[in-house]
Amino acid sequence: MSPAMSLHQYVGDGGGTELPRRAVADTVVALAQASIEISDLICSGALAGITGQAQGRNADGDIQQDLDVRADRIIRMALRSLPIAALASEEAALPEFMSPAAPISVAIDPLDGSSNINTNMSVGTIFSIVRTPDDVRTAFMQPGTAQLAAGFFIYGPQTSLVLTLGRGVDIFTLDRAAHEYRLIRCAARTSTCAGLGRWWRKPTGSSHAAGSSYIRPTRATATARAVCGWSTKPTRSPSSWNRRPVLPPPGARGFSISRQARCTSVCR
């Protein structure tokens, strides 16, 4: 892939012709268009009527600001005509079932970190696209390995997209003049967080597809992350961080669809 390739060209080359892959490509493009509108809204701030006023609380119990609500509305409008079976948003308590027979389902956090807006810090949109299972009601209960694509938009000094279609991670930057995302970095890699390193093993040729850029966790760690039970907060001191994966008790409930979406986007 050549640098400066547009996102439309990128997903056109990698989307494939089978229905799920085509639907994924169209969804990524629609999310990108929505993100441009959200980016413009954030840049305008109070000039666009963004006040930072609380609008209640979302499904996770976080304070919901006016920008959260508007970002959620923008994304829903962008996705409404696509073949999506279910849409889960952090701003809604329950998923919206759109076309149950459609091949993909989408989970989003429309605006993560919206409380940072008043301090002029970066915020973002997170998304995960999964294949719709036979029972659409379980679409967002699948492990991260069920994803077809995942990524996030960062609204900062530049507006960027970090995206995977399952063949490594590539980074795009918004070309505002052209109103288009352009590829700036291929096969991006990141080091394992220092506190988590002991739980990961290096990839091997037999366990990785060519070009894969992530490190495969051990079986126990994969299980822990798949159910989003990993503890990443300190208990007593830094030396005790992440001493072991922490699974929720049998039959535990209480983490929302939106948290599941965030977990699946991380646990790829």
Domain boundaries, the chain: 7-191
**How confident is the model at residue 14, as a pLDDT?**
57
Residue pLDDT, tens place only, 33-74: 999 999 999 988 888 877 666 666 666 667 678 889 999 999
Decide the pairing of beta strands 123-131 and 104-112.
antiparallel
End-to-end CA distance of the chain: 22
- Report the chain's mean pLDDT, rounded to a whole number: 77
Architecture of domain 7-191 in CATH?
Answer: 2-Layer Sandwich (3.30)
How buried is 214 (Cβ within 10 angstroms: 0-12 exposed, 13-18 middle, 19+ buried)?
middle
**How confident is the model at residue 257, as a pLDDT?**
42
What are the beta bridge partners of residue 175?
A: 180
With beta carbons less than 8 A apart as the criterion, state whether 127 and 146 touch: no
Q: How far apart are CA 119 and CA 125, in angstroms?
A: 18
- pLDDT exceeds cutoff 80 at 246: no
